[in-house]
Amino acid sequence: MSIAGGYAAGASAPAVRRERIDESAAGQRIDNYLLRICKGVPKSHVYRILRSGEVRVNGGRIGPTYRLNEGDEVRIPPLRIAQPERSGPAPAGKPLPVVYEDEALLVVDKPAGKAVHGGSGVSFGVIEQLRSQRPDARMLELAHRIDRETSGLLIIAKKRAVLKDLHDMMREGRIEKHYLTLVAGRWHNPLQHIKFPLYKYLTPEGERRVRVSEEGKPSHSIVRLLNHWADYSLLDVELKTGRTHQIRVHLAHLGFPLCGDDKYGDFALNKALEAKGLKRMFLHAARLAFAHPVSGQRIALETALPEELQSFIQALGVPNG
């Protein structure tokens, strides 16, 4: 698929593009579709042209959540790319660990520090790397996202119908997602439900942030205490909803910031922890369980803490209970 309106130095000015949606893009949200094909265009600008009605589908205005149908004609206005894109395919890199794979989907163990997709200053992410390493794959699309700083299990769909089913399962809470995190402070409750609504906003610098607010969307996390030390607690957090930065904001709001969190954490503590060997956010997508969207068979997957997090836990000594 060609890039809408992109140009490099010396190229002709961008023009209106019209794209016909084929089977591979059918069912995808228009905002995600544009973000995928308009590489180099800031995310904020993509949403701006959607809100203004400059993007048309079959001649009519649509919202950012519109789902494309096979045969739709998408009108994309001229878009200027501030920096020319890096030419050539995504670098192959070290193969990502595959935890599960069949003809419908695959699950990889994403390392911390790697974005799930390109954009926002990142040239290539997990999905671009997989497409580069698997040139014969008809389709590879993210079924969900985890933060760049988070490690762990990530589901990729290999068929459009499977992607839609996985999205429905995510939205309806039919995929169990458990994360392991180390927080500052002594967590006392063996089991606790957190239901603070979360509101997403942009800072004056254009960075995405989330806060607890009655204006926000309903959000539900279930926290289970696994171990604790004098100054830290190891928690299992089950997500019943999948809001942006949900675990980080819920726990920080209660006074238990994630160790190493550079957005919502204790920055002085993070600096001290870095000197002790913790050089990343302590958040790991450890377990997934769901009914396979094709066979209905229950799939239960687990991945251990990465070595750098396990080593830090061991350095804390024997837990207090």
User: What is the CATH classification number for the domain harbouring 22?
Assistant: 3.10.290.10
126 with 60, same domain: the answer is no
Compute the average pLDDT of residues 246-253: 98
Q: How far is CA 138 from the centre of its chain?
A: 22
Q: Which residue would you say has higher pLDDT here, 39 or 312?
A: 312
Q: CA dist 298 to 236, 242, 295, Å?
A: 21, 21, 9
244 with 153, same domain: the answer is yes
The answer as to whether 47 is a domain residue is yes
Instruction: Flag whether pLDDT at 2 surpasses 60.
Output: no
180 with 266, same domain: the answer is yes
User: What is the CATH classification number for the domain harbouring 232?
Assistant: 3.30.2350.10
Q: What is the DSSP letter of 53?
A: T
Compute the average pLDDT of residues 65-90: 72
66 with 106, same domain: the answer is no
Q: Look at strands 141-142 and 151-157 and give their pairing.
A: antiparallel
54-63 pLDDT tens trace? 999 999 999 8
160 contacts 29 by C-beta, under 8 angstroms: no
Model confidence at 291, pLDDT cuts 50, 70, 90, reads very high
pLDDT at 83: 47
The answer as to whether 6 is a domain residue is no
Torsion angle of the four alpha carbons 90, 95, 96, 97, in this order, in degrees rounded to the nearest 10? 170
154 with 215, same domain: the answer is yes
105 with 200, same domain: the answer is yes
233 with 180, same domain: the answer is yes
The residue from 31, 72, 147, 165 that is catalytic is: 147
249 with 145, same domain: the answer is yes
101-158 pLDDT tens trace? 999 999 999 999 998 987 555 567 899 999 988 888 889 999 999 999 999 999 999 9
- The CA-CA-CA angle for residues 297, 302, 303, to 5°, reads 150
The answer as to whether 206 is a domain residue is yes
Model confidence at 208, pLDDT cuts 50, 70, 90, reads confident
Q: What is the DSSP letter of 233?
A: E
Model confidence at 246, pLDDT cuts 50, 70, 90, reads very high
Model confidence at 272, pLDDT cuts 50, 70, 90, reads very high
CA distance 182 to 274: 14
87-110 pLDDT tens trace? 444 455 678 999 999 999 999 999
Active site residue 147: yes
The answer as to whether 81 is a domain residue is no
The answer as to whether 257 is a domain residue is yes
- What's the domain count of the chain? 2
311 with 261, same domain: the answer is yes
What tokens does 93 get?
Answer: 């890199």
- Per the structure, the complete domain to which residue 30 belongs is given by 17-76
34 with 169, same domain: the answer is no
Rounded percentage of the chain residues whose pLDDT exceeds 90: 65
CA distance 157 to 140: 6
By three-state DSSP, how is residue 35 classified? helix
Task: Categorise residue 190: left if φ over 0, alpha if ψ from -120 to 50, beta otherwise.
Answer: alpha
199 with 300, same domain: the answer is yes
Helix axes 30-37, 43-51, angle to 10 degrees: 140
As a whole number, the mean pLDDT across the chain is: 88
208 with 156, same domain: the answer is yes
CA distance 228 to 43: 40
DSSP H helical ranges for the chain: 30-37, 43-51, 126-133, 160-171, 246-253, 267-275, 307-315
Tell me how far apart the terminal alpha carbons of the chain are, to the nearest angstrom: 56
Which residue has tokens 């400059």?
54
